[in-house]
Structure 1
């Protein structure tokens, strides 16, 4: 099914209003009657609808080579350099005839989201989705992708609930460095994310 582009752009061109409420920075964990590959694919689809783009970094292959039980994918949004742009520069550089709306929108700083899943029992898998900010972008707006992440998490929860497959769900304010592909230690070591 073809997906419509996000109204505020996607990938490196994703923007957000400087005045928009950013909300809490959360991830989530679900236990679902499904298989790991399907869960990661579904999570990636919902994140893509919110403007995230899959990284072609061989993350899943790296995990397999390490003997990990997890299946995972990494998606990214934002741009390091353009996230530092001021609004007045936007007035001068955005395309005409309507530069003002783009000028008042902030280019998102780089944000990485990892969707990872592993089997926990026969026909049951654990899905973990967690976002990571980057020190490379505009620190003032480091969590500007929070509304997009929250929207994707809500859609994943609704989809699992609609299928009657969800066994449990919890929001995550942080994630332990326990070897999960969504943990800070793994994204730094395997993906070089800073």
Structure 2
């Protein structure tokens, strides 16, 4: 269970953190329209558009991709309320005491291909600032992917879709190499 949006998002103790890192869709739509749908799905899953230099760098990178950076969470603290045993305290009933979601960068990107527009939504947790909770956003990515699947299916635009465990194309703005080397995300 989650409360809040963006930096203020908190996760309830005992929340199942299983989920996915990302999803790939092939759709019948212009890249800008597919990107808009991806951003909308991520925003409905509590992510907020990035307002730092990351987005400017992402936009200036060029290439065949159009992309948008979104973020959620804050850096993990060394000591947080995760050290309290919630079984013995009624703290799990007080959302303002729940730990914040680990800092995560989500990239939505789209490009035209021969088969249709490829849309990728992928979450990159901050390896330096997420601590042990690198999959806090996994269930939220599932929510965004399911919303995209429903929207594209309802409009008849969905050609194919699937879960993405990692992105091997270093030119893709959602790949680990791209976000680490070009965007400086760590």
Q: TM-score range by the shorter chain?
A: 0.7 to 0.9
Q: Match for residue 4 of structure 2?
A: 9
How far apart, in 2, do the equivalents of 1:159 and 1:81 lie?
A: 34
1:150 maps to 2:142: yes
Paired residues of 1:82 and 1:107 also in contact (CA < 8 A): no
Paired residues of 2:58 and 2:183 also in contact (CA < 8 A): no
Which 10-residue stretch deviates more, 55-64 or 143-152?
Answer: 55-64
Equivalent position to 2:75, from 77, 80, 83: 80
Q: Match for residue 164 of structure 2?
A: 172
Paired residues of 2:27 and 2:118 also in contact (CA < 8 A): yes
Equivalent position to 2:37, from 42, 53, 57: 42
The answer for unaligned runs of 5 or more in structure 1 is 1-5, 90-97
What SS class does the counterpart of residue 68 from structure 2 fall into?
strand
The answer for unaligned runs of 5 or more in structure 2 is 85-90
Paired residues of 2:12 and 2:92 also in contact (CA < 8 A): no
Q: Provide TM-score, normalisation by structure 2.
A: 0.85
How far 1:58 sits from its partner (Å)?
Answer: 5.8
Once the two structures are superposed, the pairs formed by residues 20-31 of structure 1 within 5 Å of their partners are: 20-31=15-26
Note the alpha carbon deviations across 1:14-66, whole angstroms, 9 max, x for none. 01112011113331111100011111111111111111011124656545644
Paired residues of 2:75 and 2:102 also in contact (CA < 8 A): yes
How far 1:104 sits from its partner (Å)?
Answer: 5.2
**CA RMSD, Structure 1 to Structure 2 (Å):** 2.7
Once the two structures are superposed, the pairs formed by residues 62-141 of structure 1 within 5 Å of their partners are: 62-63=57-58, 65-81=60-76, 84-87=79-82, 100-102=93-95, 105-121=98-114, 124-141=116-133
Q: Provide TM-score, normalisation by structure 1.
A: 0.82
What SS class does the counterpart of residue 132 from structure 2 fall into?
helix
Q: Match for residue 176 of structure 2?
A: 184
Note the alpha carbon deviations across 1:110-161, whole angstroms, 9 max, x for none. 0111000001149x31101111111233422221111111101100011001
